[in-house]
Structure 1
Amino acid sequence: MRSIRWRLMLTYCAVTLLSTAALSTVLLRAVERSYVDERLQVLQAHATLIKSNLSAAAGLETPDVEFACLCRRLSQCLRTRVVLSALDGRRIVDTAQEATGSGSEQQPCAPERFQCRTCHGAALGPSQLHVTVPVEVGEEAYLLTVSSPRTGLEQIMARIHAATAMALLVALGLIGLISLSLSSGITAPLVRMSRMARRMAEGDLDQQVEVAGNDEVADLAASFNNMAERIRQAMNALAEEKGKLETVLAQMADGIIVTDTRGRIGVVNPAGERLLGIPAGSMLGQQVYGPTFNPDLQRAVTRALAGKTVEEEVRLHHPQPMVLGVHASPFRDAEGLTQGAIVLVQDRTEMRRAVKLQREFIANASHELRTPVASLQATVDTLVDGAKDDPEARDRFLETLSRETVRLSSLLTNLLDLSRLEASGPVKKNLVDLAGAWQDVLALASPLLATRELDIQADIPEGLAVPADYTQLIQVLANLLDNAIKHTPDGGEIRVAAFREGDRVCIRVADTGAGIPEAEQARVFERFYRVDKARSRALGGTGLGLAIAREVVEAHGGTIAVESAPGKGSAFLVALPATFSGDPEPA
Structure 2
Amino acid sequence: MTEMPIAALIALIVAAVLLVVVGVVLIIGVATRRVRVSGRPAGDGDPDDEELPDEASTLLSMLPDISILVDEQDEVVRCSPGAYRLGVVQEDAIVGKEILDAIHETRARGGKRQFDLTTDTPERYAAERDKGSAVKTQSVRRPNWLKVTVGRINAQFVIVLVEDVSDSVRFAQVRDAFITNVSEQLLGPTEALAKLADSLEQGEPDRERIAEDARQVRSSCGKLNHMVSDLLLLIRAQEPITPSSANRLAVMDQLRKTVDRLTPQAEQAGVMLRLSGDDTLVVNDEGGQIDSAVTKLIENAIGYSKEGGVVSVSASKTQDGGRASIRVIDQGVGIAKKDQARIFERFYRGAGQSERTADGVGLGLAIAKHVALTHHGDIAVWSTPGQGSTFTLTLPLAQ
TM-score normalised by L of structure 2: 0.58
Distance in structure 2 (CA, Å) of the matches to 1:467 and 1:303: 46
- Higher fraction of helix: 1
1:497 is paired with a residue whose SS is strand
Q: Do the aligned residues in 2 keep the contact of 1:434 with 1:465 (CA within 8 Å)?
A: no
Pairing 1:548-587 to 2, within 5 Å after superposition: 548-552=367-371, 560-573=379-392, 581=398
In structure 2, the CA distance between the partners of 1:360 and 1:511, relative to structure 1 (3 Å rule), is farther
Pairing 1:43-442 to 2, within 5 Å after superposition: 241=54, 244-245=57-58, 248=61, 253-257=66-70, 268-271=77-80, 275=88, 277=90, 279=92, 294=97, 297-298=100-101, 301-302=104-105, 305-306=108-109, 308-313=111-116, 325-329=147-151, 340=155, 343-347=158-162, 351=165, 355=169, 357=170, 361=174, 364-387=177-200, 389=202, 390=205, 391-423=207-239, 425=241, 426=243, 427-429=247-249, 432=253, 437-442=258-263
User: How far 1:401 sits from its partner (Å)?
Assistant: 1.7
Q: Do the aligned residues in 2 keep the contact of 1:297 with 1:314 (CA within 8 Å)?
A: no
Q: Do the aligned residues in 2 keep the contact of 1:434 with 1:466 (CA within 8 Å)?
A: no
Aligned partner (choices 330, 345, 355) of residue 510 of structure 1: 330
User: How far 1:528 sits from its partner (Å)?
Assistant: 3.0
Identity %: 20
User: How far 1:495 sits from its partner (Å)?
Assistant: 0.8
Residue by residue, what CA displacement relative to the aligned partner does 1:368-389 show, whole Å, maximum 9, x if unpaired?
Answer: 3234301112122223334554
In structure 2, the CA distance between the partners of 1:493 and 1:271, relative to structure 1 (3 Å rule), is same
Distance in structure 1 (CA, Å) of the matches to 2:179 and 2:200: 29
Distance in structure 2 (CA, Å) of the matches to 1:398 and 1:358: 37
Paired residue type of 1:270 = C
Asked whether 1:480 is paired with 2:297, we answer yes
Paired residue type of 1:344 = I
Q: Do the aligned residues in 2 keep the contact of 1:301 with 1:341 (CA within 8 Å)?
A: no
Residue by residue, what CA displacement relative to the aligned partner does 1:199-249 show, whole Å, maximum 9, x if unpaired?
Answer: 97995599xxxxxxxxxxxxxxxxxxxxxxxxxxxxxxx999589549739
Larger Rg: 1
Paired residue type of 1:369 = V
Residue by residue, what CA displacement relative to the aligned partner does 1:524-577 show, whole Å, maximum 9, x if unpaired?
Answer: 334333324988998121222123334556778876543311233323355789
2:271 is paired with a residue whose SS is strand
In structure 2, the CA distance between the partners of 1:346 and 1:397, relative to structure 1 (3 Å rule), is farther
Paired residue type of 1:380 = L
More displaced stretch, 517-526 vs 339-348 = 339-348
Distance in structure 1 (CA, Å) of the matches to 2:109 and 2:376: 49
Paired residue type of 1:482 = E
2:66 is paired with a residue whose SS is coil
> Structure 1: where are the runs of 5+ without partners?
1-176, 178-191, 207-237, 284-291, 332-338, 583-587
Q: Do the aligned residues in 1 keep the contact of 2:60 with 2:67 (CA within 8 Å)?
A: no
Distance in structure 2 (CA, Å) of the matches to 1:441 and 1:295: 50
Q: Do the aligned residues in 1 keep the contact of 2:297 with 2:328 (CA within 8 Å)?
A: no
Paired residue type of 1:571 = T
2:47 maps to which residue?
Answer: none
1:48 maps to which residue?
Answer: none
2:361 is paired with a residue whose SS is coil
> Structure 2: where are the runs of 5+ without partners?
2-14, 30-50, 124-142, 319-323
User: How far 1:408 sits from its partner (Å)?
Assistant: 1.5
Distance in structure 2 (CA, Å) of the matches to 1:205 and 1:483: 63
Q: Do the aligned residues in 1 keep the contact of 2:146 with 2:165 (CA within 8 Å)?
A: no
Q: Do the aligned residues in 1 keep the contact of 2:276 with 2:315 (CA within 8 Å)?
A: no
Q: Do the aligned residues in 2 keep the contact of 1:314 with 1:326 (CA within 8 Å)?
A: yes
Paired residue type of 2:299 = D
Asked whether 1:496 is paired with 2:299, we answer no
Q: Do the aligned residues in 1 keep the contact of 2:69 with 2:158 (CA within 8 Å)?
A: yes
1:458 maps to which residue?
Answer: 273
Instruction: Give aligned pairs, total.
Output: 324
Higher relative contact order, chain-length normalized (CA < 8 Å, sep 6+): 2
Distance in structure 2 (CA, Å) of the matches to 1:303 and 1:555: 34
In structure 2, the CA distance between the partners of 1:471 and 1:442, relative to structure 1 (3 Å rule), is farther
Distance in structure 1 (CA, Å) of the matches to 2:278 and 2:66: 45
Q: Do the aligned residues in 1 keep the contact of 2:304 with 2:357 (CA within 8 Å)?
A: no
1:429 is paired with a residue whose SS is strand
Distance in structure 2 (CA, Å) of the matches to 1:466 and 1:202: 48
Q: Do the aligned residues in 1 keep the contact of 2:249 with 2:282 (CA within 8 Å)?
A: yes
User: How far 1:414 sits from its partner (Å)?
Assistant: 1.6
Distance in structure 2 (CA, Å) of the matches to 1:543 and 1:423: 21
Paired residue type of 1:392 = E
In structure 2, the CA distance between the partners of 1:465 and 1:378, relative to structure 1 (3 Å rule), is farther
In structure 2, the CA distance between the partners of 1:369 and 1:537, relative to structure 1 (3 Å rule), is farther
Distance in structure 1 (CA, Å) of the matches to 2:278 and 2:151: 63
In structure 2, the CA distance between the partners of 1:377 and 1:571, relative to structure 1 (3 Å rule), is same
Distance in structure 2 (CA, Å) of the matches to 1:295 and 1:557: 26
1:423 is paired with a residue whose SS is coil
Residue by residue, what CA displacement relative to the aligned partner does 1:383-435 show, whole Å, maximum 9, x if unpaired?
Answer: 33345543222222222222222222222212222333433755453562856
Paired residue type of 1:456 = V
1:520 maps to which residue?
Answer: 339
Distance in structure 2 (CA, Å) of the matches to 1:552 and 1:511: 25
